[in-house]
Amino acid sequence: MQHKEVRVRTGIKLIKFFTGIKIQICYYTCMKKLLTLCFVLCAVCLQAAGGKLQTVREAPQYLSTDGAAVEDTCPGNDIFKQFFCSAKEESGFKCFDVYRVEGDPIDAERYTLLAQTLTTENSSAEPACTFEGELTCDNFLKALNYNLSFSWFIDNFPSSSFPECGKTYSCTRVSCLRALPPSANAPVQAAKLTCVFKKNQIYFLGTEVSCQNKR
C-alpha cells in the first residue's frame, strides 16, 4: 500500500514538473512573439514617420503680373496655388514653386497699357504734360509715379470702348497736352496724348521648395 502511494505521489510530482515546464515554454514563446510584434510595429511607425515630409521654402521672389511669363516646375505646374510636399515625393525633392497673389504689384507693373493715341487739337495745352522727351504713355506713367488714383489728368470715357473694363478689371484713361510751335496761319494747337491703362490686381511670386523628413 505504501509503495502504491509513493508511486502516485511520484506521478503527481512528475505531472506538475512537466506541466510547469510547458507553462514556462508557453510563457517564453508568447514573450518572444510579443517582442517580435513590438519590433515590427516600431519599424512600421518609424517608416511612417520617415514618410511624412515637410515643405521647406526659400524666401519668395517677385516674378511678374503676366502668367505666361512664369514657369512652375513643381508637380502639377499650378501657377495659381502653392505646392506642398506629399507622400508621392521623396526626401530631398526640389522644385520651383510659382503662385498667385492678390494685391498691388511693383510700381513698374501696376498698370498695363491698353491703348495709346496722339492727336492734334486746336486748343491750349491744358492740362499740360509735365514731362520732357517723347510723348508716350510709358513716359507719362513714369511722370505720374505710377499712380493714377488721384490725377487731374484722368479723362472719362465710355466703357463700351473697352468692354472688359469694369467687369474683370478696372481701367483709367489719362490725357495731357503739349503746345506745338506757333504758326502764322493756324490757331493755337497742341499735341494731345491719351492713354488707357488697365490696373493689375494680381501678381506672381516664386520660391525654391524642397521636401525634407520631419524630425
Determine contact, residues 140/148, Cβ cutoff 8 Å: no
The pLDDT of 186-210, averaged and rounded, is 93
Question: Mean pLDDT for the chain?
Answer: 81
pLDDT at 172 over 70: yes
> What three-state secondary structure class fits 113?
strand
* Model confidence, pTM: 0.65
Whether 20 shows a pLDDT value over 90: the answer reads no
Cβ neighbours for 208, distance < 8 A, ≥ 6 positions apart? 57, 58, 94, 95, 96, 97
d(CA 63, CA 14): 88
The 10s digit of each residue's pLDDT in 36-76 is 554 445 444 444 455 578 999 999 999 999 999 999 999 99
Reported confidence tier of residue 111, pLDDT bands at 50, 70, 90: very high
Pairing outcome for strands 94-102 and 111-121: unpaired
**Who wins on pLDDT, 16 or 187?**
187
- Residue 1 predicted with pLDDT over 80: no
Q: Is the pLDDT of residue 190 over 70?
A: yes
Of 28-42, 46-60, 114-128, highest mean pLDDT: 114-128
Average pLDDT over residues 143-164: 82
pLDDT of residue 158: 66
**Predicted local confidence at residue 156, as pLDDT:** 79
Q: Please state, as a whole number, how many other Cβ atoms lie within 10 Å of the Cβ of residue 105.
A: 19
CB burial of residue 154 (10 Å; 0-12, 13-18, 19+): middle
